Amino acid sequence: MTAYVVRRLLQMIPVLVLVSVVSFSLIFVLPGDPALAILGDQNARDAQLYAQLRADLGLDRPLPVQYVDWAGRVVHGDLGTSTQTHQPVAVLLAQRIGPTIELGLLALLFALTVGVSVGIASAVRPNSRLDVLGTIVAMIGASVPHFWLGLLLILSFGLWLRWLPPSGYTPPTEDLLGNLKLMLLPAITVGSGGAAVLMRQVRSAMLEVLGQDYITTARAKGLAPATVTLRHGLRNALIPVLTVIGLQVGLLIGGAVVSESIFAIPGVGRLAADSIFSRDFPVLQAVVLLLALAVLLANLVTDLAYAWLDPRIRYE
């Protein structure tokens, strides 16, 4: 197992290098001159100031030299300095990573709770009213865009019913209950799509597993229906579901960018959106690298979970 983990970590290096090339290229793909965007309309006509800024940013050097210099600083932990706030990018990410991790975990918890429970209930009683209702809800959850669902939840529960605060963020260390109230609507918004996908995947996998001979044997032994369904059925059905869960991490990250902007959560997703509009390229490049690393680590954890669920799986 240790050799497999080390091999997978080494395989991440070429992927991260490719992502770093794409991330670094963002500054040249987006239209306009970064130096002019930073100077603004008032100072853009100052040729000396413009040339000095391009030299400070390293834009006057050949592109390969710029990339090697930037990649070298990233390897040593220097992600650069924000062109808007003039703060180290690593400090900005450290300040914003907490709300994003919390939102991702709550959204994943919502997706797992709703998706797995409804998927099991639909598989146990196929073609029932609950199964039909679950199918309809899954189709709606998979088709509704995050931004539209977020606005609808704010309008319904925040403005009309006034059950929950519409937006904002309070650290859990200051007010845990207030934090959960503020994070409930964003978590539902981000996790709704994952819940819909998991619901259908769990139902399909459970239907296949519940028809196996060992399930029939377990029922013939007189085991309780809940024991047969959860201990014997769900554990084996989760193998393909784990793959879907690993893929949902990327969707959760993408949903966080939209939801954090809608619900005014000071996370990495909102930082990425703000850096795009303000053309803060050092921040945007660092965010892309961080999110790519998060997806790669999530896939690694998913692969390792296979062996935990099924002892027959061994990594050499």
Note whether 74 and 136 are same-domain residues.
no
68 lies in the same domain as 96: no
**Residue 2 belongs to a domain:** no
d(CA 124, CA 203): 9
Q: Do residues 148 and 204 both lie within one domain?
A: yes
59, part of any domain:
yes
Answer yes or no: do 166 and 36 share one domain. no
* Structural domain span for residue 269: 92-309
- Which residue from 233, 235, 243 is spatially nearest to 123, judged by alpha carbons? 233
Taking the model in full, what pTM does it have? 0.84
Residues 44 and 112 in one domain: no
Q: Which residues pair with 88 in a beta bridge?
A: 81
22 domain residue, yes or no: no
Is the domain of 220 the same as that of 177? yes
Counted domains in the chain: 2
pLDDT over 70 (residue 46): no
Q: Are residues 122 and 40 in the same domain?
A: no
Helix ranges restricted to H, 164-280: 176-210, 213-220, 225-227, 235-262, 268-278
Are 66 and 125 within one domain? no
Q: Which range scores top for mean pLDDT: 9-23, 31-45, 124-138, 182-196?
A: 182-196
Question: Quick one: 160 and 305 in the same domain?
Answer: yes
In a domain, 84, yes or no: no
Q: What is the mean pLDDT of residues 273-283?
A: 82
140 and 259 within one domain: yes
Indicate whether 53 pLDDT > 80: no
Within-domain flag for 314: no
Give the per-residue pLDDT at 153. Answer: 92
Task: Please report, as a single letter, which amino acid is at residue 184.
Answer: L
Q: Is 52 found in the same domain as 110?
A: no
Q: Which residue's structure tokens are 């896939």?
A: 299
Residue tagged 């690393």 (tokens): 293
| Any domain includes 224 | yes
In a domain, 185, yes or no: yes
Which helix H or strand E contains 121, and what residues bound it? helix 89-124
Q: Each residue of 282-306: pLDDT tens digit?
A: 888 888 888 888 888 888 887 777 7
Sign for the pseudo-dihedral over CA of 187, 189, 194, 199: positive
295/301 Cα distance (integer angstroms): 10
Whether residue 138 sits in one domain with residue 53: no
Three-class secondary structure of residue 81 per DSSP:
strand
Dihedral class, residue 40 (left if φ above 0, else alpha if ψ from -120 to 50, else beta): left
Q: What percent of the chain has pLDDT over 90?
A: 13
CA distance 115 to 205: 13
- Residue 11 covered by a domain: no
Residue that the structure tokens 């319904």 belong to: 156
Which of 43, 78, 113 is at the close of a domain?
78
- Cβ(152)–Cβ(140) under 8 Å? no
Domain harbouring 124, CATH code? 1.10.3720.10
